[in-house]
Structure 1
Amino acid sequence: MNERRRSMSVTIAIAVFIISYIFIMSEKINRALVALAGGVLLLLTGVYGWEDAVTSYIDWHTVALLFAMMVLVAITKKTGVFSYIAIWLAKVVNGQPIPLMVGIGFLTAVGSALLDNVTTVLLFVPVILTLTNLLQLPSLPYLITIILTANIGGTATLIGDPPNIMIGQAVPHLTFISFLQHTAPIAALLFVLVMIILCFLFRKQLKKIDDNRIQELMKMEEASYLVKSPLLYQSLSILTLTITGFLLHPVFHIDLTIIALCGAILLLVISEKEVEAEAVFQQVEWVTLFFFIGLFMLVGGLEEVGVIDELARSIMWLTEGDMTYTALLLLWVSGIFSGIVDNIPFVAAMIPVIKEFETYGMANLDPLWWSLALGACLGGNGTLIGASANVVVAGLAEAQNKKIAFVKFMLYGIPVVILSLIIATIYIYFRYLLPFQQPL
């Protein structure tokens, strides 16, 4: 009876996930409603209990981090600083669309490496939406650039992307410097290649702007958009302190979520006279947050019935313990799977499995850790729900009536993922597997 019940749970979890995914792709129903409905259906059918959903499967750290950063950005936006940055950047590139795209891509990649990609897109999406409205440019090329470069830049460092943070916490000898040495070089190469491809693909959409509009832009005084009140200095100071806290994470080991929440609450308290908390909370992207909750519940169903664990263990069975095959298969499976579901739960399932590989005689597991990190981070570019940063950008854009179509994004994201995984395969093979293969 138990076996039959388990088989039924497996069927229900997979069916609910697939059906929900189809509805999310169709975009006919709000994606947060679809994800939450799927999660509730898993509760009703007994795939898992409410307590398991709340304590095990919903990643409240990610949800709380997003909420805190949304609060910080919502308050900071009232100071006009994003308009200031947008106009300044546009003037630096003389209002030219392609250089502007390269500039925003570079800033996003660097910001994602030094902070984390979720925080970076929360800061830059309002800037680019302001800028495209100002110059009457299509927003889609810039939003796609931000998503792709955020995930590529986040690949470069320990704190850049949640999967890297999880791997760094699980493997003590993989430090901040280790990620800079091992993942930053390929991230830099991929950034250059992807920007060249994007410039080619969007060259017709991003034609030269009318000279009169450029003249109007160059006459604008960006400083006039700043609201020089105590709120400006308060928000910038606390935002800077929060970012500094992120950078010092490897030193003090304070959880990133705690740092962000402290910054958000502190800014809410000291700015209460100028900005009411209720007004700030109204600007939080609640649809995005609830979508994350629903998505975690959907993937939690696959975890509960053992689908993700079975996938992970199948890698070892298929490769028969060969280091080269295991590392490369892990790279591609994590890359493809991370594009279908959020990469966070997949990495969480894979970490204990990789640790078990030591029992099969694999003394040097580093190639596997780098394969997992590169596959999970780069694979997140595949779809709009492949990584946390993608979901946030889609939510911010939709709030400004700049909706990114799920299928349309895949037309750009999937080729980039395939290219990234091919280059990562070559990189991993020649840097780790060829010189350091362990005999069986």
Structure 2
Amino acid sequence: METTLAIAVFLVSYIFIMTEKINRALVALAGGFLMLLSGIYKWEDAYTDFIDWGTITLLFSMMVLISITKKTGLFEYIAILMAQKVQGFPVPLLVVTAVLTALGSALLDNVTTVLLFVPILLTLTNLLQLPVFPYMLTVILSANIGGTATLIGDPPNIMIGQAVEHLTFLSFVVHLGPVVLVIFVTTVCCLALMFRRKLHTKEEYRMKLMDMNAESYLIRTPMLYQSIVVLSLTVSGFSLHAFVHVELTTVAVCGALLLLLLTQKEAEAEEIFKQVEWITLFFFIGLFMLVGGLEQVGVIDELARGIMWITEGDLPSTALLLLWISGIFSGIVDNIPFVAAMIPVIQEFQSYGITNLDPLWWSLALGACLGGNGTLIGASANVVVAGLASSAKHPIGFVKFLLYGFPVVIFSLLVSTIYVYIRYLLPFLHNSL
């Protein structure tokens, strides 16, 4: 009875999350508390075992850092400056948009990056009288691809990094960076070729952009320099944490606290906390509770046994099946709940004799992050961009996005399959001979 109830609550919550008729944080929390009320688990279990407070704290800290830095005008300055560097020409602007979004997503996180960059991009496209869809599509695809490369770039990677202690910030860059670069360059080239005939602007609009003073957006107070230094130190701490043996969450919290203390005269803590994306944080909490219910009644164990039954415990087969399952499923539903459900599944594989789980973790990260490009609800960044575009009266059609996004996912998974097989599975097969 408990198993049926847990599955029913999980599926109903998923449906409401997908339809977005009710705030998804409220849906996830309601589902989680239904698990509590039905006696599937106790609050102590949820608090201590199921809710990953490390992930919640890391996200919160990054949101604080970005909220303070945003007040300095630094991000607007970078965007306008880069647009002027390409002299407002539409196709080069598309490429710059992709590069900036991918870099920002890798170094900050993709949700934060699109929140910062999309409003600026909407202003630029309006100024140059350019079609909005190609740029919004480029932002979404680049955010998810770029975010795949680092531990903090995409929420699924944060969750994996928190669950597996030896997978450091540098590990993600070294292992996922090469394949992400190939997929990103190819995708951007294809986008530029596809939209080159639709992207035209008048000379007078370009001149108006060129006359803008990018530096006027910078608020040159001590907070600007403090933000740049602390943000740089925090990102450096992420990359070096394996050597200094300080956890990522600790690095992020220290960075946020330091910047809050340094800037308290210019940015009151109360105002900064108001700008934190509490909806996203509470969504994560509810999500962890939902998945915890499935874990408590044994559904996760059965899912692991099912995958093991299909692959018969063969590491190469398991890794490639996981890559494609995570890629396709993450395109259909938000990749966050899928990864939350799959982390305990992969951990369960150890009890079936698979000792080296790293190929499985990399397969899950690639599939979940890249698969998020499949539909408008495939990743958090997609939903954010669609909402911002709709508010600016440039709605992105679900089917229209699907026609571009799904082929990108299939291509990304094919490239990832070749990469995972050559880099991880061939050496395994060679050593097993």
TM-score normalised by structure 2 residue count: 0.83
Instruction: State the one-letter code of the partner of 2:4.
Output: T
**Equivalent residue number for residue 349 of structure 1:** 344
Which one is further off, 65-74 or 170-179?
170-179
Instruction: State the one-letter code of the partner of 1:245.
Output: G
**CA-to-partner distance for each residue in 1:264-322, whole Å, 9 max, x for gaps?**
22222222222222222222222222222223333333333232332222111112233
SS in 2 for 1:28: coil
**CA-to-partner distance for each residue in 1:392-437, whole Å, 9 max, x for gaps?**
6667778888776777655544433222222222333344445642
Equivalent residues in 2 for 1:27-426, closer than 5 Å: 27-114=20-107, 117=110, 120-121=113-114, 124-125=117-118, 127-128=120-121, 131-132=124-125, 135=128, 137=130, 141-157=134-150, 160-161=153-154, 179-180=172-173, 182-199=175-192, 207-339=199-331, 340=333, 341-342=335-336, 343-357=338-352, 359=353, 367-383=359-375, 386-387=378-379, 412-426=404-418
Which one is further off, 82-91 or 412-421?
412-421
Q: Could you say what the CA RMSD is over the residues aligned between the two structures, in angstroms?
A: 3.5
The CA deviation at 1:139 is 5.2
**Equivalent residue number for residue 12 of structure 2:** 19
The CA deviation at 1:124 is 4.2
Label 1:337 to 1:294 Cα distance change in 2 as closer, same or farther (>3 A).
same
**1:82 touches 1:126 (CA, 8 Å); kept in 2?**
no
**Equivalent residue number for residue 5 of structure 1:** none
Distance 1:54 1:63 in 2: 12
**2:59 touches 2:281 (CA, 8 Å); kept in 1?**
yes
Distance 1:157 1:377 in 2: 11
**2:54 touches 2:162 (CA, 8 Å); kept in 1?**
no
Label 1:290 to 1:172 Cα distance change in 2 as closer, same or farther (>3 A).
closer
How much identity, in percent, do the aligned residues show?
65
**2:106 touches 2:149 (CA, 8 Å); kept in 1?**
yes
**2:64 touches 2:276 (CA, 8 Å); kept in 1?**
yes
SS in 1 for 2:76: helix
**CA-to-partner distance for each residue in 1:376-403, whole Å, 9 max, x for gaps?**
3323434566556556666777888877
Instruction: State the one-letter code of the partner of 2:313.
Output: G
Unaligned runs of 5+ in 1: 1-7
**CA-to-partner distance for each residue in 1:223-257, whole Å, 9 max, x for gaps?**
12212222222222222222222222232232222
Distance 2:191 2:341 in 1: 29
Unaligned runs of 5+ in 2: none
Distance 1:260 1:70 in 2: 10
**1:288 touches 1:391 (CA, 8 Å); kept in 2?**
no
**1:79 touches 1:227 (CA, 8 Å); kept in 2?**
yes
Label 1:124 to 1:249 Cα distance change in 2 as closer, same or farther (>3 A).
farther
Give the paired residue count.
429
Instruction: State the one-letter code of the partner of 1:309.
Output: D
**1:288 touches 1:392 (CA, 8 Å); kept in 2?**
no
Instruction: State the one-letter code of the partner of 2:63.
Output: M
SS in 2 for 1:248: helix
Which one is further off, 173-182 or 304-313?
173-182
**2:169 touches 2:238 (CA, 8 Å); kept in 1?**
no
Distance 1:417 1:80 in 2: 34
Instruction: State the one-letter code of the partner of 1:19.
Output: V
Which one is further off, 226-235 or 146-155?
146-155
**CA-to-partner distance for each residue in 1:106-142, whole Å, 9 max, x for gaps?**
2332344455545655654565455446545565544
**1:13 touches 1:302 (CA, 8 Å); kept in 2?**
yes
Instruction: State the one-letter code of the partner of 1:18.
Output: L
The CA deviation at 1:86 is 1.8
TM-score normalised by structure 1 residue count: 0.82
Distance 2:408 2:10 in 1: 25
Distance 2:248 2:391 in 1: 26
Label 1:321 to 1:293 Cα distance change in 2 as closer, same or farther (>3 A).
closer
Distance 1:63 1:401 in 2: 33
Label 1:135 to 1:256 Cα distance change in 2 as closer, same or farther (>3 A).
farther
